[in-house]
Amino acid sequence: MTTHSYTIRAVEHSDIPALGELLHTSKLALTINRLLFKNWPNEAVQRQNYLGALEGIDVDSPESRTVVDNDTGEVIGHLALNRRRPVEKPKQSQGDIKKPVLPDFFAPQVVTAVLEAVATISEEVKTFDRYEITYIVVKPEYRHRGIGKDLMDYVFNQARSAGVPVAVSAEPQIYEFFKRYDFHDTKHVDFDLAHWAPPYSGFGIFRLAGLIWHP
């Protein structure tokens, strides 16, 4: 899709460094980010972590999209979108589930809580065919220009064509964005960040919310 000022296209391998920086900047603004990484802000580690999360997206995620400024060629937005097929709920007990090995730059208690929350929210949707939005990010200086709407129109068109819903796990700063597009709540998990923060430092409840949209 091309407008007079920007183009939305498939992700190319050469986009990945810019997409990693865009994702890093977005995540850095989250309250929980201050507690998730040791020696915060530890920006070199954070950049490498988010860059690693995007490796292979140009091949493995063909329906994801990059937004490019037509005048400058700058990468200004990103949508990570994937088709997820139904998965049977595991029959093993909680004690049989292997815990992932975590990189040592993470604060283990915080990242474990996040991973468990994501798994809890995913249980609500994993048994049916769907699209999942992993990231939708637009550079701050390019917001309120219709880029987010165009990306969501693309998502909805994909979902309607396939006849499947769209699921997302939303952090607080983007929750209302999805609600404006008629996403409905499925399940949420609240974290009391004060458990991991210094006393009287202003940290409180952080919510990760599961949402779904039906065509």
Question: Looking at the whole model, is its pTM more than 0.85?
Answer: yes
Burial class (CB in 10 A: 0-12, 13-18, 19+), 59: exposed
Question: What would the two tokens of residue 178 be?
Answer: 């999805």
Q: Which CATH code, of 3.30.465.10, 3.30.70.20, 3.40.630.30, 3.40.1390.10, is assigned to 6-213?
A: 3.40.630.30
100 alpha-carbon distance from chain centroid: 19
The torsion angles phi and psi of 131, rounded to 5 degrees, stand at: -100, 150
Which residue type occupies 128?
A: F
For Cα atoms 200, 204, 205, give the angle at the middle one, nearest 5 degrees: 165
Domain ranges in the chain?
6-213
For Cα atoms 96, 186, 54, give the angle at the middle one, nearest 5 degrees: 70
pLDDT in tens, the chain (215 residues): 878 899 999 999 999 999 999 999 999 999 999 999 999 999 999 999 999 999 889 888 999 999 999 999 999 999 999 999 998 766 555 555 567 788 999 999 999 999 999 999 999 999 999 999 999 999 999 999 999 999 999 999 999 999 999 999 999 999 999 999 999 999 999 999 999 999 999 999 999 999 999 99
